[in-house]
Chains A and B, each alone.
Chain A
Amino acid sequence: MKTNERFEIRVAGFGGQGVVTIGRILGEAFTIYEGVNSVNTRSYGPESRGGACRSEVVVSRGEIHYPSVRKADVLVALSQAALDMYIPDLKEDGILLIDPNSVKDVPKKHLCYGVPAMGIAHSVGDVKYQNSVVLGALAALLKSMLKKESLKSAVSENVPPKTVQKNLKAFEAGWAHIMNVKMVVAE
């Protein structure tokens, strides 16, 4: 990343999938653990009351002025509605990460990775761990710019103390899924 370059991540899905938490933990990993500037904003108001939920992280080694996404480098879509709404703002060479169980209809032009976040979280013990699965998957996709350990530390710091082990297990499963399976779902 060059000094003033912006790297923009957008996470979208339904309320309850941990979308807001994913953004917050990502931002904290970049800023607190890597010393890189980041701004985290979240959807608010009527758009979130309708069930749709969005969280954004803009990362830069320079100052960040406009706090929201202009053209996303990464889009994490955890619902079909989220994908349909935000895919136009994804850069052509941007990366798409989806949960293939809830997102079926994927445009072919983007590099697309799938992680069955809900399924993996369920096998770890509870669907509420799906945000950690997604964070693990993101750690794998962003490993050239964000240390895995930084993100793990941010996860440990931000989840309820009693759930740290389960969350880290979910995180590792998400990481392993992308590193090993590298499931490209574009048909």
Chain B
Amino acid sequence: MVETALKEKKCRGEFIKPGRHYLEGSEACVEGALLAGMKVYAGYPITPASEIMEHASRRLPQVGGRFIQMEDEISAVCALIGASWAGAKAMTATSSPGFSLMQEAISFSIMTETPLVIVDVQRPGPGQGYITTSQEDVMQARYGHHGEGPIIALAPSSVQDMFELTIEAFNLSEKWRTPVLIMADETVAHMREQLIVPELDTIEILGRRKPQDLNISPEAYLPYGHDIVPPMANFGEGYNINHVSLAHHADGSVGNYSLEVHRENIERLHQKIEGNVNEIARVESQFLDDCDHVLICYGSVARTGLEAVREVREVHGIKIGFIRLVTLWPFPEEKLRNLISMVKTIFVPEMNLGMIKHPITGALRDKCDQVIPMPEIGVLHHPDKLVNQILEVTTC
């Protein structure tokens, strides 16, 4: 009795209070996750993502959650899968080399439709590479895991984003029953700035849709059926769940499966995310009216990008617009096409040698004369560099 009471008292922690805070991106991410309902964090430390793990280790026990340091990144993400099927919202954070190790389990989670959240605080590679800032995993996020598995990936560019997009990531993962990636970078994870926390009851928190909510009996339950997003029962609730990543029928059985069954399942998985791209994916834009050129970017680079665009417009009078991809995957092709009528140049600054410029080119090749990548490795672009490059191209 006494022990239980004490334990409960210890667990009765507090969430972050509404109002103005001054936090690091890593801390804002964890605070957002806690509000979203994260109950399990399993992870393995790595620079520059360790601050998220450290903060989770301090905070989770205070609010009745569980923090586990695993032996590596593979076991970390696998622990999330177990936690998620036990009914707990779960998250981990890692950096690029650790993200590589997680790919198999990401593929597994897509196939088994397991909600979980992975934060990748990207650093330059390949190999162990370097330990500063980077956006070199943005293609790995989509194509690093084997098979035709669609993914949701978000790109935060401020401390406020680290808070809000983490909540959004949990909501998306529960709503669409799929793993969601937060493609952060060292810059946004380590910078400190204002975080405004709204009144807690105004924050939308989504839970998973369960067969019980739809009056589906255990006998009638199909863990991979009923709907394009199947309702998800937790282990231990009396519903039989065949948790399987092999090609499976809607009831989870693997006997008598055919290529036809597999095709149908993959089509549904694909349709679930790509078919709802306009609901899932977000883009932000400024200065697009009558622009001759446009700069498209994401993550921390959106900060330098916007600064450069403003300067080029205000000081040099060049009509250049600005688009920020909040969501990288599913790629918001239609939204981008609707935003741009016809421009001369599309500039794509990225902290890699040119990755998201490929889907951008694919989406907009008939709407521009040229796409110009603005690569940077291991450091956030300096605004002067972007300004000079834009002027070179636009004033010649």
Contacts and interface: CB of A to CB of B under 8 A. Distances in A.
Interface of A: 24, 27-28, 31-32, 35, 37-42, 44-46, 64-68, 70
A2 to B, nearest CB: 14
A44 B132 contact: yes
A31 B48 CA distance: 25
18 contacts: A27-B192, A31-B194, A35-B20, A38-B193, A38-B194, A39-B193, A40-B191, A41-B191, A41-B192, A44-B48, A45-B48, A45-B132, A46-B131, A65-B310, A66-B304, A67-B380, A70-B383, A70-B384
Could you tell me the dominant secondary structure of chain B's interface residues?
mixed
A67 B20 contact: no
B190 A42 contact: yes
Most buried by B among A24, A27, A45: A45
A67 B191 contact: yes
B306 interface: yes
Nearest to B47: A45
A108 B303 CA distance: 35
Contact of B194 (A24, A37, A44, A46): A37
A41 B190 contact: yes
B163 to A, nearest CB: 15
Nearest to B302: A65
Contacts of B22: 27-28, 31-32
B310 A64 contact: no
A66 B307 contact: yes
A40 B193 contact: yes
B130 interface: yes
Contacts of B307: 65-66
A66 B383 contact: yes
Contacts of A28: 22, 192
Interface string B340-369: 000000000000000000000000000000
Contacts of B130: 45-46
B161 interface: no
A65 B297 CA distance: 13
Interface in B155-194: 186-187, 190-194
A38 B192 CA distance: 8
Contacts of A24: 192
B192 A65 contact: no
A67 B185 CA distance: 14
Interface string B295-330: 000001001101100100000000000000000000
A45 B131 contact: yes
A65 B304 contact: yes
Contacts of A66: 303-304, 307, 380, 382-383
A65 B302 CA distance: 8
A77 to B, nearest CB: 21
Contacts of B48: 44-45
Nearest to A25: B22
Contacts of B190: 41-42, 44
Contacts of A39: 191-193
Interface in B195-220: none
B23 to A, nearest CB: 10
A85 to B, nearest CB: 16
